[in-house]
Amino acid sequence: MGWASELLVAVSWLCVVGCARGIGANWGTQASHPLPPSTVVQMLKDNGIQKAKLFDADDRVLSALVNSGIQVMVGIPNDMLASLASDHKAAERWVAKNVSDYVHDGVDIRFVAVGNEPFLETYNGSFLQTTYPALQNIQAALDAAGLSNRVRATVPLNADVYESVTGKPSDGDFRSNIHDLMLSIVTFLSDNGAPFTANIYPFISLYEDPNFPVDYAFFDGYSSPIVDGAITYTNVFDANHDTLVAALQRNGFGNVSIIVGEIGWPTDGNMNANQQLAQRFNKGFMSHVSSGNGTPLRPGPIDAYLFSLVDEDEKSIQPGNFERHWGVFAYDGSPKYELDLRSTTAEAAAAAATNSSSLVGAKNIKYLERKWCVLKPSVSLDDAEIAPSVSYACENADCSSLGYKTTCSDLDAQGNISYAFNSYYQKNDQDNRACGFSGLATVTEEDPSTSTCKFDIMIDAEAAESWKARTLTQLNLLWCIVLPVIVTFV
Protein backbone atom coordinates (compact mmCIF):
# COMPACT_ATOMS: atom_id res chain seq x y z
CA MET A 1 0.00 0.00 0.00
CA GLY A 2 1.03 3.62 -0.51
CA TRP A 3 1.52 6.00 2.44
CA ALA A 4 -1.96 7.48 1.98
CA SER A 5 -3.60 4.06 2.13
CA GLU A 6 -1.51 3.12 5.15
CA LEU A 7 -2.52 6.32 6.89
CA LEU A 8 -6.18 5.63 6.13
CA VAL A 9 -5.92 2.13 7.62
CA ALA A 10 -4.15 3.48 10.70
CA VAL A 11 -6.69 6.25 11.26
CA SER A 12 -9.67 3.99 10.68
CA TRP A 13 -8.19 1.36 12.97
CA LEU A 14 -7.79 3.95 15.72
CA CYS A 15 -11.55 4.42 15.41
CA VAL A 16 -12.11 0.70 15.79
CA VAL A 17 -9.80 0.26 18.75
CA GLY A 18 -11.37 3.17 20.55
CA CYS A 19 -13.30 0.42 22.21
CA ALA A 20 -13.53 -1.29 25.55
CA ARG A 21 -10.24 -2.84 26.56
CA GLY A 22 -9.98 -5.70 28.97
CA ILE A 23 -12.40 -8.52 29.44
CA GLY A 24 -15.29 -9.54 27.24
CA ALA A 25 -17.40 -12.68 27.24
CA ASN A 26 -18.32 -15.35 24.72
CA TRP A 27 -22.09 -15.68 24.50
CA GLY A 28 -23.02 -19.10 23.14
CA THR A 29 -26.59 -20.24 22.56
CA GLN A 30 -26.33 -24.04 22.24
CA ALA A 31 -28.73 -24.63 25.11
CA SER A 32 -32.04 -26.46 25.25
CA HIS A 33 -33.48 -23.80 27.55
CA PRO A 34 -31.53 -20.61 26.83
CA LEU A 35 -31.89 -17.56 29.03
CA PRO A 36 -33.88 -14.74 27.42
CA PRO A 37 -31.44 -12.52 25.49
CA SER A 38 -32.58 -9.42 27.38
CA THR A 39 -31.66 -11.19 30.62
CA VAL A 40 -28.18 -12.01 29.32
CA VAL A 41 -27.62 -8.42 28.21
CA GLN A 42 -28.50 -7.25 31.71
CA MET A 43 -26.07 -9.80 33.15
CA LEU A 44 -23.32 -8.38 30.95
CA LYS A 45 -24.08 -4.87 32.17
CA ASP A 46 -24.40 -5.87 35.82
CA ASN A 47 -20.98 -7.53 35.71
CA GLY A 48 -19.19 -4.70 33.94
CA ILE A 49 -18.67 -6.70 30.75
CA GLN A 50 -18.52 -4.27 27.84
CA LYS A 51 -17.85 -6.69 24.99
CA ALA A 52 -19.67 -9.79 23.72
CA LYS A 53 -18.46 -12.34 21.19
CA LEU A 54 -21.17 -14.27 19.33
CA PHE A 55 -20.87 -17.44 17.26
CA ASP A 56 -23.59 -16.55 14.77
CA ALA A 57 -25.97 -13.71 13.96
CA ASP A 58 -29.08 -14.72 15.92
CA ASP A 59 -31.75 -12.03 15.50
CA ARG A 60 -33.03 -12.37 19.07
CA VAL A 61 -29.56 -11.88 20.49
CA LEU A 62 -28.61 -8.97 18.25
CA SER A 63 -31.96 -7.26 18.80
CA ALA A 64 -31.42 -7.44 22.56
CA LEU A 65 -28.07 -5.66 22.10
CA VAL A 66 -29.63 -2.59 20.44
CA ASN A 67 -28.47 0.56 22.27
CA SER A 68 -26.97 -1.57 25.03
CA GLY A 69 -23.56 0.07 24.94
CA ILE A 70 -21.99 -3.39 24.56
CA GLN A 71 -19.48 -3.85 21.76
CA VAL A 72 -20.12 -6.92 19.63
CA MET A 73 -18.13 -9.44 17.62
CA VAL A 74 -20.70 -11.22 15.46
CA GLY A 75 -19.87 -14.67 14.14
CA ILE A 76 -20.13 -16.65 10.92
CA PRO A 77 -20.29 -20.47 11.40
CA ASN A 78 -17.82 -22.65 9.55
CA ASP A 79 -20.55 -24.26 7.47
CA MET A 80 -21.21 -20.91 5.78
CA LEU A 81 -17.62 -20.31 4.69
CA ALA A 82 -17.89 -22.11 1.35
CA SER A 83 -20.85 -20.07 0.09
CA LEU A 84 -19.33 -16.79 1.25
CA ALA A 85 -15.98 -17.67 -0.32
CA SER A 86 -17.41 -18.48 -3.72
CA ASP A 87 -19.90 -15.63 -4.09
CA HIS A 88 -19.10 -12.03 -3.19
CA LYS A 89 -22.78 -11.18 -3.62
CA ALA A 90 -23.61 -13.71 -0.91
CA ALA A 91 -21.09 -11.94 1.35
CA GLU A 92 -22.72 -8.60 0.59
CA ARG A 93 -26.15 -10.00 1.42
CA TRP A 94 -24.86 -11.45 4.67
CA VAL A 95 -23.29 -8.15 5.70
CA ALA A 96 -26.41 -6.19 4.76
CA LYS A 97 -28.66 -8.46 6.80
CA ASN A 98 -26.45 -9.26 9.78
CA VAL A 99 -24.27 -6.17 10.18
CA SER A 100 -25.56 -3.09 8.37
CA ASP A 101 -29.18 -3.43 9.52
CA TYR A 102 -28.21 -3.91 13.16
CA VAL A 103 -25.61 -1.14 13.13
CA HIS A 104 -28.31 1.14 11.76
CA ASP A 105 -30.62 0.05 14.59
CA GLY A 106 -28.03 0.78 17.26
CA VAL A 107 -25.99 -2.42 17.77
CA ASP A 108 -22.32 -1.54 18.32
CA ILE A 109 -20.76 -4.18 16.06
CA ARG A 110 -16.96 -3.88 15.91
CA PHE A 111 -15.85 -7.19 14.41
CA VAL A 112 -17.07 -10.02 12.24
CA ALA A 113 -15.61 -13.40 13.19
CA VAL A 114 -15.24 -15.34 9.93
CA GLY A 115 -15.48 -18.97 11.00
CA ASN A 116 -14.44 -20.46 14.31
CA GLU A 117 -11.12 -22.29 14.61
CA PRO A 118 -11.40 -23.44 10.96
CA PHE A 119 -7.84 -24.80 10.81
CA LEU A 120 -8.14 -27.23 13.69
CA GLU A 121 -6.19 -30.33 12.72
CA THR A 122 -9.23 -32.44 13.67
CA TYR A 123 -11.12 -30.86 10.74
CA ASN A 124 -8.70 -32.56 8.33
CA GLY A 125 -8.38 -29.50 6.12
CA SER A 126 -12.12 -29.08 5.50
CA PHE A 127 -11.94 -25.28 5.58
CA LEU A 128 -8.43 -24.60 4.26
CA GLN A 129 -9.65 -23.53 0.83
CA THR A 130 -12.60 -21.40 1.92
CA THR A 131 -11.59 -19.41 5.02
CA TYR A 132 -9.30 -16.86 3.41
CA PRO A 133 -11.57 -16.10 0.41
CA ALA A 134 -14.53 -15.78 2.80
CA LEU A 135 -12.51 -13.36 4.94
CA GLN A 136 -11.65 -11.30 1.86
CA ASN A 137 -15.25 -11.19 0.62
CA ILE A 138 -16.67 -10.25 4.02
CA GLN A 139 -14.19 -7.40 4.48
CA ALA A 140 -14.90 -6.20 0.93
CA ALA A 141 -18.62 -6.29 1.70
CA LEU A 142 -18.08 -4.29 4.89
CA ASP A 143 -16.10 -1.73 2.91
CA ALA A 144 -18.77 -1.54 0.20
CA ALA A 145 -21.42 -1.02 2.88
CA GLY A 146 -19.56 2.01 4.20
CA LEU A 147 -18.55 0.26 7.43
CA SER A 148 -14.79 0.24 6.88
CA ASN A 149 -14.25 2.89 9.55
CA ARG A 150 -15.87 0.83 12.32
CA VAL A 151 -16.09 -2.93 11.55
CA ARG A 152 -13.23 -5.31 10.82
CA ALA A 153 -13.26 -8.95 9.75
CA THR A 154 -11.05 -11.40 11.63
CA VAL A 155 -10.72 -15.18 11.97
CA PRO A 156 -10.76 -16.73 15.47
CA LEU A 157 -8.03 -19.36 15.31
CA ASN A 158 -7.05 -22.09 17.70
CA ALA A 159 -3.60 -21.82 19.22
CA ASP A 160 -2.55 -24.87 17.21
CA VAL A 161 -1.96 -22.66 14.14
CA TYR A 162 1.38 -21.63 15.65
CA GLU A 163 4.10 -23.63 17.38
CA SER A 164 7.62 -23.65 18.69
CA VAL A 165 9.81 -26.62 17.80
CA THR A 166 12.06 -25.93 20.81
CA GLY A 167 9.27 -25.16 23.27
CA LYS A 168 10.62 -21.64 23.75
CA PRO A 169 8.22 -18.82 22.85
CA SER A 170 10.94 -16.88 21.02
CA ASP A 171 11.14 -19.68 18.44
CA GLY A 172 7.45 -19.37 17.57
CA ASP A 173 6.30 -19.69 13.97
CA PHE A 174 3.16 -20.71 12.14
CA ARG A 175 2.39 -24.39 11.67
CA SER A 176 4.43 -25.71 8.79
CA ASN A 177 1.58 -27.30 6.83
CA ILE A 178 -0.41 -24.02 6.74
CA HIS A 179 2.48 -21.55 6.87
CA ASP A 180 1.85 -19.89 3.51
CA LEU A 181 -1.89 -19.68 4.11
CA MET A 182 -1.32 -18.09 7.52
CA LEU A 183 0.99 -15.49 5.98
CA SER A 184 -1.68 -14.61 3.43
CA ILE A 185 -4.27 -14.17 6.18
CA VAL A 186 -1.95 -12.18 8.45
CA THR A 187 -0.96 -9.94 5.53
CA PHE A 188 -4.63 -9.30 4.84
CA LEU A 189 -5.38 -8.56 8.49
CA SER A 190 -2.42 -6.18 8.66
CA ASP A 191 -3.40 -4.38 5.45
CA ASN A 192 -6.91 -3.85 6.79
CA GLY A 193 -5.95 -2.88 10.34
CA ALA A 194 -7.65 -5.98 11.73
CA PRO A 195 -6.55 -8.04 14.74
CA PHE A 196 -5.23 -11.58 14.90
CA THR A 197 -7.71 -13.52 17.06
CA ALA A 198 -6.37 -16.55 18.95
CA ASN A 199 -8.14 -18.92 21.33
CA ILE A 200 -5.82 -19.98 24.16
CA TYR A 201 -6.78 -22.81 26.51
CA PRO A 202 -4.39 -23.81 29.31
CA PHE A 203 -7.02 -26.34 30.44
CA ILE A 204 -6.73 -28.20 27.14
CA SER A 205 -2.96 -28.42 27.61
CA LEU A 206 -3.59 -30.12 30.94
CA TYR A 207 -6.41 -32.28 29.54
CA GLU A 208 -4.40 -33.60 26.60
CA ASP A 209 -1.11 -34.22 28.41
CA PRO A 210 -1.18 -36.19 31.69
CA ASN A 211 2.41 -35.05 32.34
CA PHE A 212 1.62 -31.35 31.95
CA PRO A 213 2.61 -29.51 35.16
CA VAL A 214 -0.65 -28.40 36.82
CA ASP A 215 0.69 -25.22 38.41
CA TYR A 216 2.03 -24.01 35.06
CA ALA A 217 -1.59 -23.69 33.86
CA PHE A 218 -2.30 -21.03 36.51
CA PHE A 219 -1.01 -17.59 37.43
CA ASP A 220 0.21 -18.02 41.00
CA GLY A 221 3.70 -19.32 40.44
CA TYR A 222 5.46 -22.38 39.06
CA SER A 223 8.59 -23.89 40.55
CA SER A 224 10.13 -24.93 37.21
CA PRO A 225 9.55 -22.01 34.85
CA ILE A 226 10.60 -21.87 31.20
CA VAL A 227 13.69 -19.73 30.73
CA ASP A 228 13.86 -18.18 27.27
CA GLY A 229 16.93 -15.98 27.08
CA ALA A 230 16.40 -13.09 29.48
CA ILE A 231 12.69 -13.94 29.92
CA THR A 232 11.25 -16.34 32.49
CA TYR A 233 7.77 -17.77 31.90
CA THR A 234 5.88 -18.94 34.98
CA ASN A 235 2.53 -19.63 33.28
CA VAL A 236 1.51 -21.24 30.01
CA PHE A 237 -0.78 -18.39 28.93
CA ASP A 238 2.10 -15.91 28.66
CA ALA A 239 4.27 -18.52 26.95
CA ASN A 240 1.54 -19.46 24.46
CA HIS A 241 0.63 -15.82 23.76
CA ASP A 242 4.26 -14.88 23.19
CA THR A 243 4.77 -17.85 20.86
CA LEU A 244 2.17 -16.14 18.67
CA VAL A 245 3.87 -12.76 19.11
CA ALA A 246 7.18 -14.31 18.05
CA ALA A 247 5.51 -15.95 15.03
CA LEU A 248 4.14 -12.58 13.95
CA GLN A 249 7.49 -10.86 14.51
CA ARG A 250 9.41 -13.59 12.67
CA ASN A 251 7.29 -13.02 9.57
CA GLY A 252 7.37 -9.22 9.64
CA PHE A 253 4.06 -8.50 11.37
CA GLY A 254 5.15 -7.56 14.86
CA ASN A 255 2.68 -4.67 14.99
CA VAL A 256 -0.48 -6.69 14.31
CA SER A 257 -2.77 -6.44 17.31
CA ILE A 258 -3.93 -9.58 19.13
CA ILE A 259 -7.31 -10.49 20.58
CA VAL A 260 -7.59 -13.52 22.84
CA GLY A 261 -10.89 -14.76 21.46
CA GLU A 262 -11.50 -17.50 24.03
CA ILE A 263 -9.94 -18.32 27.37
CA GLY A 264 -11.43 -20.00 30.43
CA TRP A 265 -11.75 -23.11 32.55
CA PRO A 266 -14.65 -25.60 32.79
CA THR A 267 -16.28 -26.68 36.06
CA ASP A 268 -17.38 -30.25 35.37
CA GLY A 269 -17.00 -33.25 33.08
CA ASN A 270 -13.35 -34.05 33.86
CA MET A 271 -11.15 -34.66 36.89
CA ASN A 272 -9.46 -31.26 36.37
CA ALA A 273 -12.70 -29.45 35.59
CA ASN A 274 -14.21 -28.21 38.83
CA GLN A 275 -15.29 -24.97 40.44
CA GLN A 276 -12.17 -24.64 42.58
CA LEU A 277 -9.73 -24.83 39.67
CA ALA A 278 -11.98 -22.69 37.45
CA GLN A 279 -12.10 -19.99 40.11
CA ARG A 280 -8.34 -20.21 40.60
CA PHE A 281 -7.70 -19.85 36.88
CA ASN A 282 -10.21 -17.09 36.13
CA LYS A 283 -9.26 -15.07 39.23
CA GLY A 284 -5.62 -15.32 38.22
CA PHE A 285 -6.36 -14.33 34.65
CA MET A 286 -8.51 -11.38 35.72
CA SER A 287 -5.69 -10.16 37.99
CA HIS A 288 -3.31 -10.53 35.05
CA VAL A 289 -5.62 -8.47 32.83
CA SER A 290 -6.24 -5.87 35.53
CA SER A 291 -2.52 -5.30 36.03
CA GLY A 292 -2.19 -3.92 32.51
CA ASN A 293 1.27 -5.47 32.27
CA GLY A 294 0.53 -7.72 29.32
CA THR A 295 3.07 -10.42 28.43
CA PRO A 296 6.86 -10.22 28.17
CA LEU A 297 6.86 -9.84 24.37
CA ARG A 298 3.68 -7.74 24.22
CA PRO A 299 3.50 -5.38 27.21
CA GLY A 300 0.31 -3.40 27.75
CA PRO A 301 -3.42 -4.15 27.94
CA ILE A 302 -4.68 -7.64 27.08
CA ASP A 303 -7.82 -7.72 24.95
CA ALA A 304 -9.66 -10.94 25.78
CA TYR A 305 -13.02 -12.70 25.89
CA LEU A 306 -13.73 -15.22 28.64
CA PHE A 307 -15.11 -18.55 27.54
CA SER A 308 -17.77 -18.58 28.45
CA LEU A 309 -20.61 -16.68 30.03
CA VAL A 310 -23.22 -19.44 30.56
CA ASP A 311 -23.20 -23.25 30.36
CA GLU A 312 -24.61 -24.81 27.17
CA ASP A 313 -26.17 -28.25 27.50
CA GLU A 314 -26.38 -28.91 23.75
CA LYS A 315 -22.73 -28.41 22.87
CA SER A 316 -21.00 -31.38 21.31
CA ILE A 317 -19.14 -33.49 23.85
CA GLN A 318 -16.93 -35.10 21.24
CA PRO A 319 -13.88 -33.19 22.59
CA GLY A 320 -14.90 -34.14 26.15
CA ASN A 321 -17.78 -33.94 28.62
CA PHE A 322 -16.36 -30.66 29.96
CA GLU A 323 -17.56 -28.86 26.80
CA ARG A 324 -20.95 -28.23 28.39
CA HIS A 325 -19.52 -26.62 31.53
CA TRP A 326 -17.36 -23.65 30.51
CA GLY A 327 -19.68 -20.95 31.88
CA VAL A 328 -18.85 -18.75 34.85
CA PHE A 329 -22.63 -18.89 35.26
CA ALA A 330 -24.75 -22.05 35.33
CA TYR A 331 -27.49 -22.73 32.77
CA ASP A 332 -29.94 -20.57 34.76
CA GLY A 333 -27.61 -17.60 35.10
CA SER A 334 -26.64 -18.34 38.70
CA PRO A 335 -22.97 -17.64 39.59
CA LYS A 336 -20.83 -20.72 40.14
CA TYR A 337 -18.22 -19.05 42.35
CA GLU A 338 -16.88 -15.68 43.50
CA LEU A 339 -15.22 -13.74 40.69
CA ASP A 340 -14.73 -10.08 39.86
CA LEU A 341 -14.99 -9.44 36.12
CA ARG A 342 -14.04 -5.78 36.27
CA SER A 343 -10.96 -5.58 34.15
CA THR A 344 -9.09 -2.56 35.49
CA THR A 345 -7.57 -1.84 38.87
CA ALA A 346 -9.75 1.27 39.23
CA GLU A 347 -12.92 -0.68 38.46
CA ALA A 348 -11.96 -3.44 40.89
CA ALA A 349 -11.21 -0.92 43.63
CA ALA A 350 -14.53 0.80 43.06
CA ALA A 351 -16.33 -2.54 43.21
CA ALA A 352 -14.58 -3.48 46.44
CA ALA A 353 -15.55 -0.14 48.00
CA THR A 354 -19.21 -0.85 47.31
CA ASN A 355 -19.01 -4.57 48.20
CA SER A 356 -20.01 -5.43 44.63
CA SER A 357 -17.05 -7.58 43.61
CA SER A 358 -19.07 -10.78 43.23
CA LEU A 359 -20.67 -12.07 40.07
CA VAL A 360 -24.20 -10.75 39.55
CA GLY A 361 -26.57 -13.47 38.42
CA ALA A 362 -29.63 -13.43 36.20
CA LYS A 363 -32.71 -11.79 37.66
CA ASN A 364 -36.36 -12.86 37.70
CA ILE A 365 -35.74 -16.37 36.39
CA LYS A 366 -38.81 -18.60 36.27
CA TYR A 367 -38.36 -22.33 36.73
CA LEU A 368 -40.51 -25.32 35.94
CA GLU A 369 -42.30 -26.99 38.84
CA ARG A 370 -40.29 -28.50 41.71
CA LYS A 371 -40.49 -32.10 40.62
CA TRP A 372 -38.04 -34.67 39.35
CA CYS A 373 -38.05 -37.96 37.45
CA VAL A 374 -36.27 -40.83 39.23
CA LEU A 375 -35.94 -44.60 39.11
CA LYS A 376 -38.70 -46.34 41.05
CA PRO A 377 -37.27 -47.77 44.30
CA SER A 378 -39.02 -51.05 43.59
CA VAL A 379 -37.20 -51.64 40.29
CA SER A 380 -34.37 -54.16 40.32
CA LEU A 381 -31.04 -52.92 39.05
CA ASP A 382 -30.85 -56.12 37.02
CA ASP A 383 -33.89 -55.13 34.95
CA ALA A 384 -33.02 -55.59 31.28
CA GLU A 385 -34.73 -52.34 30.30
CA ILE A 386 -32.44 -50.14 32.42
CA ALA A 387 -29.37 -50.09 30.16
CA PRO A 388 -31.13 -49.10 26.92
CA SER A 389 -33.30 -46.59 28.81
CA VAL A 390 -30.34 -44.82 30.36
CA SER A 391 -28.45 -44.89 27.09
CA TYR A 392 -31.38 -43.27 25.30
CA ALA A 393 -31.83 -40.64 28.02
CA CYS A 394 -28.17 -39.67 27.95
CA GLU A 395 -28.02 -39.57 24.15
CA ASN A 396 -30.94 -37.13 24.08
CA ALA A 397 -30.26 -35.09 27.19
CA ASP A 398 -27.14 -34.30 29.25
CA CYS A 399 -25.25 -36.81 31.39
CA SER A 400 -21.91 -35.01 31.20
CA SER A 401 -21.80 -34.57 34.99
CA LEU A 402 -21.67 -38.35 35.46
CA GLY A 403 -18.27 -39.98 35.50
CA TYR A 404 -14.93 -40.27 37.23
CA LYS A 405 -14.21 -37.34 39.59
CA THR A 406 -17.09 -35.23 38.29
CA THR A 407 -19.62 -33.41 40.46
CA CYS A 408 -21.91 -36.46 40.43
CA SER A 409 -19.28 -39.15 40.87
CA ASP A 410 -20.60 -39.81 44.39
CA LEU A 411 -23.87 -41.25 43.08
CA ASP A 412 -24.58 -44.95 43.39
CA ALA A 413 -26.10 -47.00 40.56
CA GLN A 414 -29.65 -45.94 41.38
CA GLY A 415 -28.55 -42.31 41.53
CA ASN A 416 -26.85 -42.52 38.13
CA ILE A 417 -30.01 -43.93 36.58
CA SER A 418 -32.21 -41.31 38.22
CA TYR A 419 -29.90 -38.52 37.08
CA ALA A 420 -30.16 -39.68 33.47
CA PHE A 421 -33.94 -40.01 33.66
CA ASN A 422 -34.33 -36.59 35.24
CA SER A 423 -32.12 -34.90 32.67
CA TYR A 424 -34.32 -36.21 29.88
CA TYR A 425 -37.49 -35.32 31.77
CA GLN A 426 -36.39 -31.75 32.44
CA LYS A 427 -35.16 -31.23 28.89
CA ASN A 428 -38.64 -32.23 27.72
CA ASP A 429 -40.21 -29.60 29.99
CA GLN A 430 -41.40 -32.17 32.55
CA ASP A 431 -43.76 -33.80 30.09
CA ASN A 432 -45.16 -36.91 31.79
CA ARG A 433 -44.42 -38.97 28.67
CA ALA A 434 -40.73 -38.21 29.23
CA CYS A 435 -40.77 -39.99 32.61
CA GLY A 436 -42.04 -43.36 31.49
CA PHE A 437 -39.09 -45.51 30.49
CA SER A 438 -41.25 -48.67 30.29
CA GLY A 439 -42.56 -48.14 33.80
CA LEU A 440 -39.09 -47.86 35.37
CA ALA A 441 -39.44 -44.21 36.41
CA THR A 442 -41.68 -42.11 38.57
CA VAL A 443 -42.15 -38.39 39.28
CA THR A 444 -41.27 -37.21 42.77
CA GLU A 445 -41.47 -33.90 44.62
CA GLU A 446 -38.56 -34.89 46.88
CA ASP A 447 -35.30 -33.38 45.65
CA PRO A 448 -32.84 -36.24 44.88
CA SER A 449 -29.82 -33.91 44.81
CA THR A 450 -26.77 -34.66 46.96
CA SER A 451 -24.28 -32.31 48.58
CA THR A 452 -22.20 -32.27 45.37
CA CYS A 453 -24.62 -33.37 42.63
CA LYS A 454 -27.53 -31.16 41.71
CA PHE A 455 -30.53 -32.63 39.92
CA ASP A 456 -31.52 -29.61 37.86
CA ILE A 457 -34.95 -28.18 37.21
CA MET A 458 -35.01 -26.39 33.89
CA ILE A 459 -35.94 -22.77 33.49
CA ASP A 460 -39.29 -21.95 31.95
CA ALA A 461 -38.02 -20.38 28.77
CA GLU A 462 -39.97 -19.50 25.63
CA ALA A 463 -37.39 -21.35 23.55
CA ALA A 464 -38.30 -24.59 25.28
CA GLU A 465 -41.48 -25.00 23.27
CA SER A 466 -39.71 -25.23 19.94
CA TRP A 467 -37.27 -27.77 21.36
CA LYS A 468 -40.09 -29.88 22.76
CA ALA A 469 -41.88 -29.96 19.43
CA ARG A 470 -38.72 -31.29 17.85
CA THR A 471 -37.84 -33.90 20.44
CA LEU A 472 -41.09 -35.40 21.64
CA THR A 473 -41.59 -36.93 18.21
CA GLN A 474 -38.77 -39.29 19.19
CA LEU A 475 -40.71 -40.77 22.11
CA ASN A 476 -42.42 -43.42 19.99
CA LEU A 477 -38.98 -44.69 19.00
CA LEU A 478 -37.79 -45.04 22.58
CA TRP A 479 -38.20 -48.76 22.96
CA CYS A 480 -37.31 -49.85 19.44
CA ILE A 481 -33.90 -48.21 19.46
CA VAL A 482 -31.19 -49.71 21.60
CA LEU A 483 -28.06 -47.59 21.80
CA PRO A 484 -24.72 -48.56 23.33
CA VAL A 485 -24.63 -48.07 27.06
CA ILE A 486 -22.63 -44.92 27.85
CA VAL A 487 -22.82 -44.91 31.62
CA THR A 488 -20.99 -47.44 33.73
CA PHE A 489 -22.72 -48.29 36.98
CA VAL A 490 -20.95 -49.20 40.13
Active site residue 117: yes
Nearest-5° Cα angle at 41, 40 to 45? 115
Question: Are the beta carbons of 376 and 414 closer than 8 angstroms?
Answer: no
3-state secondary structure the chain: CCHHHHHHHHHHHHHHCCCCCCEEEEECCCCCCCCCHHHHHHHHHHCCCCEEEECCCCHHHHHHCCCCCCEEEEEECHHHHHHHHHCHHHHHHHHHHHHHHHHHHCCEEEEEEECCCCCCHHHCCCCCCCHHHHHHHHHHHHHHCCCCCCCEEECEEEHHHEEECCCCHHHEEECHHHHHHHHHHHHHHHHCCCCEEEECCHHHHHHHCCCCCHHHHCCCCCCCCEEECCEEECCHHHHHHHHHHHHHHHCCCCCCCEEEEEECCCCCCECCECHHHHHHHHHHHHHHHHHCCEECCEECCCCEEECCCECCCCCCCCCCHHHHCCCCECCCCCECCCCCCCCCHHHHHHHHHCCCCCCCCCCCCCECCCCEEEECCCCCCCCCCHHHHHHHHHHHCCCCCCCCCCCCCCCCHHHHHHHHHHHHHHHCCCCHHHHCHHHCEEEECCCCCCCCCCCCCCECCCHHHHHHHHHHHHHHHCCCCCCCCCCCCC
End-to-end CA distance of the chain: 67
The question of whether 369 is a catalytic residue gets the answer no
Which of 262, 445, 462, 465 is labelled catalytic?
262
75 contacts 113 by C-beta, under 8 angstroms? yes
Q: Which of 117, 369, 385, 395 is catalytic?
A: 117
Say if residue 355 is exposed, middle or buried (CB neighbours under 10 Å; 0-12, 13-18, 19+).
Answer: exposed
Positions marked active-site: 117, 262
